[in-house]
Structure 1
């Protein structure tokens, strides 16, 4: 909407949230422009780039239009030959292709007071033609209010899978904002006709139906986002797993941190394996599990040239990755722990598929974190290849994201308990329940717990593993929730990492949490709302709805669990399985 007088619509391809430069455009007419802009990869890998193609249309044809280009700084005689030395050069009425690092198009109007110009844009990662097809198919007319209404309806259907009763308006806003954040990624990649760029090669392929997803921040999301999707949006989760398997078929490897069909290689470990195993074990089996298993197994056994698990030769032969330059990994302890959880998940999938030899092999290897346990400090400590401990060793080093030997985005405290598949074994190493409780409490009391990052995100729920100390889970979860999440632009503790911090909040507000990927048990805590109802998908689960009811909830006053009932019967555990919940029914959590 413009005031009366001269009005301009500008398309500046010299700007962009990317580390890459270069663009091309062509002004087709006074109401249309097409072209592409080069965009870079995540975390600035200079070799990986993609063009994003576009077609933009304006609701009114501009009487005056053209293009521009930022000209370079000329030297000597050349500088005297042009009046556009290190300046923007306009190209009025120019309707041919123009390319450069800093180019754009303009459309100029003489507008009455309150005049409105609407712009619609179609994009594609395959071609300008497909960008135009996407635009004409998905947005044939100019009707902003109708488009807004359709978007509202689509989001309302997704967000409406979970309904809330009770709680404050502020809590409801925070909850649904988190749910919206969680559903932003992964994204549908293909064009309306099914075309997309294949993994790594960039060749144009076609889905032949179904969706091809992109933006897999798996080091983050395997911990809680995908279990959440499996429970509430199983159709979306299966589509994502299909995409992951196809990425393996196209490139030879499962994704680690995929973006637009490019493997960024960001972070460590083999996070695709827990996602595959967790999905299958939750009963979502409509995917090629043989190929998925073969892909996960390849990552777990190929000792040389392993793109997902560098350092596997040491890991497999020594039972840990030593701190030396030959290992080629970032954070030897952290990487080993990630391999452990992937091995454990692969073992569970092998067991479910009747592959007993693989089950025993990978289960045994999943406990190799014990080789890092230093009895003197009670920490998981980096080791040298000869078996000696890395020295000096400060468990608090790396506390605030400073680089530290042996660990990734964290310190020894923040990785001390990251063996979710073997908490009983870790308790034994630390000296039993009391010693484990003291160590876990100290992690929070010393300020080493980091709510803003993933490695220790499950730790508040580990109190459920200590008989008689379960109430600390509810108290700690609620304290962290109130400290770090609120209704404001800065209302997240850190980078949401494609929904991971939001997933922690969603589960925590509902009163249960998946503390170990591949383990079907959820750890219980105190719900925030009087009632939470999840509509279960009848295509995948036997139940119609799951309701979690907080009885005697009084805001943040009554946090301790007095007793639990499941479908009218007393339930005596602080854990409840996914398989039980998807039968549907009512989980009543009595608070005091």
Structure 2
């Protein structure tokens, strides 16, 4: 892949505020000025660039764009026509678009047919900054957007004083053109207009990436001025009754004679009255400037200020804070907005997906947002209580899709072993994990993988329990096998911590089942021993480890080949090294993954691969080189991500490179890489901090002298290529690096743990 130059591309409002306190002047840094909301919106990153007022907000207000038959996963595309501005989106997702609901579209003049194509090209590229978005349409209308957690503000500037209109389209959704059966559908709704032009209603939608059944969103809209005309339509472009309902097309047309109109909209999953209550988060006299300022303050306080660095390089700062912003756009905190059950527990939705995020995003979520992270974990367990299974992914209040294993297990184990307790009921947490490990989920007959459930749980569990491996009777057999192994190790972790000795031993043994999928005679590029398909009679299927056919839902491997998946049993690395022929062969195999082009920095199964050199003494420097190679694929621009953001997984991966550590999920281990900055501080909450400092032994810089020469952890000389949670995160700590231009044999101590290896 090419290595684009790091640069900063952003527009918007940038401020530096001074807070006056008694007897002093305190500077409140505005990190938001470094955020490019368009980072990763092109080149397959699929980031959402619109308005997200707070981390994890329910409302994500932005444009919906059509360009030929291109899926606009987050609603945004740089080319094409805008066909609406809607209240709900997901960021950085793949598969198929989700949401794009509760939409408005401004039109010059009257609208005789609201069912016609009202889309407009843009007169100039969209502009945006944190908390603010602007589109200038070719018809002369300018749209500016702001939001709160549950409400959005549209400000329309029309080209003249003649009549102009706003069309509210309840039937509007983001379409998909992939032809895989993942497209969304509008299936009904209701729309009513009051005498003063206020409107309320709801829309019902289904399908999308997670194949959800019907779900409902309610809305409540208010304009700053009373329309001169308004009418509803329900599929034939003409008003019929008030309220109206329909399953084909549904909405309303509001006509004004004014150069400027503002529109406030609240949404809710509970009722129209709750949507109207949520609307009051934006009062009639709330200005767009106020909303933008509030959004910046929230993001600065809750997310952006959690990482501080000594760098004054604008490209560095833009990359750090744009990546932090992108990493915390979803999941969505919908506490108080759960239509499915009443609970005193928090509720989070838009989890996309633990297959993507469990490797490094959730661990970053934990250290930077410990309070929200505990709420998030409680929400997962509560979903199990009421829906029967933990989600591996979830949106529109419905679990799905499972790409591999039940990776919520890995997330819970990672939190448990790192001491997350608070208000979490870990007995219930363990019971939820045992459900994944022991209960076969009902088949939802996904057309892309009809063999077993893709909604939740472990669909290939029958083979796993009977044979200790997965046969080709199940799709994605090999990749699921290695993930089920890590899932069982996760269950072991929590069982052991809760003193459940028998269960802990059972799941530790089961976590070694990836070995049953290992064919010692499979060969590829002068290496032998790979994970391959295996039949019920015990025979291995002849398989080229470099070939995974389509590498998709119906194949033996999902989104990567055996070269990558054979290195994914991260709880059992010492055993893996033995099986590939020892340290030298292990290093050579890792090298070949890169030399042969199997490594893909944009694909999550590859995420940990570059840093496995740390499991061989004297080879940590190779992890540093690979880390810097990954980092070179990022920048703060619109094409600044090496792959789909995947709900912030891609951005989290980069941020760990900057810190100079990489987490091993489900363990307390962090592999040591090489930090970027002379000083970097992580705010861990409750007054705890991790301070990382770097000095250079030969006058170099991070580019010319990236290799660790020596390290002190909490003031003590360190000789291991890893640290543990308790060393630097549990109570905070310090890491003092000396860097140089050549590799140094500094990590001569104990190797990172391989807890499942015998």
Specify the alignment match of 1:249 in structure 2: 385
Counterpart mapping for 1:463-542 below 5 A: 463-483=613-633, 485-514=634-663, 516-538=664-686
Select 2:513's aligned residue among 362, 368, 378.
368
1:4 aligns with 2:160: yes
Counterpart of 1:151 in 2: which secondary structure?
helix
1:302 aligns with 2:439: yes
CA distance in 2 between counterparts of 1:230 and 1:44 reads: 26
**Residues 711 and 738 in structure 2, CA contact (< 8 A), matched pair in contact too:** yes
Name the TM-score, length of structure 1 as normaliser.
0.88
Counterpart mapping for 1:157-236 below 5 A: 157-158=301-302, 159-166=304-311, 168-190=313-335, 194-198=336-340, 205-208=341-344, 211-216=346-351, 217-236=353-372
1:548 aligns with 2:727: no
Q: Please, which moves more after superposition, 169-178 or 417-426?
A: 169-178
**Residues 233 and 244 in structure 2, CA contact (< 8 A), matched pair in contact too:** no
1:546: how far off? 0.9
CA distance in 2 between counterparts of 1:304 and 1:37 reads: 30
Name the TM-score, length of structure 2 as normaliser.
0.70
1:341: how far off? 0.4
1:90-146: CA deviation from partner (whole Å, max 9, x where unpaired): 439x743243422332222222xxx32111211111211111111124656432111
Specify the alignment match of 2:414 in structure 1: 278
**Residues 189 and 260 in structure 1, CA contact (< 8 A), matched pair in contact too:** no
**Residues 372 and 381 in structure 1, CA contact (< 8 A), matched pair in contact too:** yes
Counterpart of 2:507 in 1: which secondary structure?
helix
CA distance in 1 between counterparts of 2:635 and 2:565 reads: 27
1:449 aligns with 2:599: yes
Specify the alignment match of 2:711 in structure 1: 564
**Residues 42 and 259 in structure 1, CA contact (< 8 A), matched pair in contact too:** no
CA distance in 2 between counterparts of 1:175 and 1:428 reads: 39
- Structure with bigger helix share is 1
CA distance in 1 between counterparts of 2:441 and 2:215 reads: 29
CA distance in 1 between counterparts of 2:577 and 2:463 reads: 26
Select 2:201's aligned residue among 35, 39, 46.
35
Select 1:149's aligned residue among 273, 293, 296.
293
Counterpart of 2:279 in 1: which secondary structure?
helix
CA distance in 2 between counterparts of 1:550 and 1:400 reads: 44
1:70: how far off? 3.9
**Residues 230 and 282 in structure 1, CA contact (< 8 A), matched pair in contact too:** no
Residues 11 and 304 (structure 1 numbering): CA distance in 2 closer, same or farther, change over 3 Å?
closer
Residues 398 and 169 (structure 1 numbering): CA distance in 2 closer, same or farther, change over 3 Å?
farther
CA distance in 2 between counterparts of 1:401 and 1:122 reads: 42
Specify the alignment match of 2:530 in structure 1: 379
1:490-530: CA deviation from partner (whole Å, max 9, x where unpaired): 2112221111111111111111110x211111111111222
Q: Please, which moves more after superposition, 31-40 or 558-567?
A: 31-40
Residues 278 and 63 (structure 1 numbering): CA distance in 2 closer, same or farther, change over 3 Å?
same
Counterpart of 1:389 in 2: which secondary structure?
coil
1:372-402: CA deviation from partner (whole Å, max 9, x where unpaired): 22222221111111111112x1222238746
Specify the alignment match of 1:577 in structure 2: 724
Residues 284 and 535 (structure 1 numbering): CA distance in 2 closer, same or farther, change over 3 Å?
same
CA distance in 2 between counterparts of 1:584 and 1:157 reads: 19
Q: Which has the higher contact order (CA 8 A, sep 6+)?
A: 2
CA distance in 1 between counterparts of 2:311 and 2:195 reads: 55
Specify the alignment match of 1:202 in structure 2: none
Residues 153 and 275 (structure 1 numbering): CA distance in 2 closer, same or farther, change over 3 Å?
same
**Residues 398 and 404 in structure 1, CA contact (< 8 A), matched pair in contact too:** no
Counterpart mapping for 1:324-473 below 5 A: 324=473, 329-376=474-521, 377=523, 378-391=529-542, 393-398=543-548, 401=551, 405-473=555-623
Select 1:130's aligned residue among 260, 274, 278.
274
1:116 aligns with 2:260: yes
1:53 aligns with 2:218: yes
Specify the alignment match of 2:151 in structure 1: none
Counterpart of 1:10 in 2: which secondary structure?
strand
Specify the alignment match of 2:173 in structure 1: 16
**Residues 414 and 450 in structure 1, CA contact (< 8 A), matched pair in contact too:** no
Residues 357 and 138 (structure 1 numbering): CA distance in 2 closer, same or farther, change over 3 Å?
farther
Q: Please, which moves more after superposition, 571-580 or 35-44?
A: 35-44
1:67: how far off? 2.4
Residues 100 and 313 (structure 1 numbering): CA distance in 2 closer, same or farther, change over 3 Å?
closer
Specify the alignment match of 2:107 in structure 1: none
CA distance in 1 between counterparts of 2:682 and 2:197 reads: 46
1:544: how far off? 2.1
CA RMSD, 1 decimal: 2.1
Q: Please, which moves more after superposition, 578-587 or 136-145?
A: 136-145
1:23: how far off? 3.4
CA distance in 2 between counterparts of 1:555 and 1:480 reads: 15
Residues 96 and 371 (structure 1 numbering): CA distance in 2 closer, same or farther, change over 3 Å?
closer
Counterpart of 2:246 in 1: which secondary structure?
strand
Residues 589 and 148 (structure 1 numbering): CA distance in 2 closer, same or farther, change over 3 Å?
same
Gaps of 5+ in 1: 72-88, 199-204
1:458: how far off? 0.7
Counterpart of 1:48 in 2: which secondary structure?
strand
1:561: how far off? 0.9
CA distance in 1 between counterparts of 2:600 and 2:306 reads: 31
Gaps of 5+ in 2: 1-156, 176-183, 443-452, 524-528, 741-758
Q: Please, which moves more after superposition, 35-44 or 420-429?
A: 35-44
1:292 aligns with 2:429: yes
CA distance in 2 between counterparts of 1:379 and 1:487 reads: 38
**Residues 549 and 555 in structure 2, CA contact (< 8 A), matched pair in contact too:** no
The number of aligned residues is 549
Specify the alignment match of 2:192 in structure 1: 26
1:336: how far off? 1.0
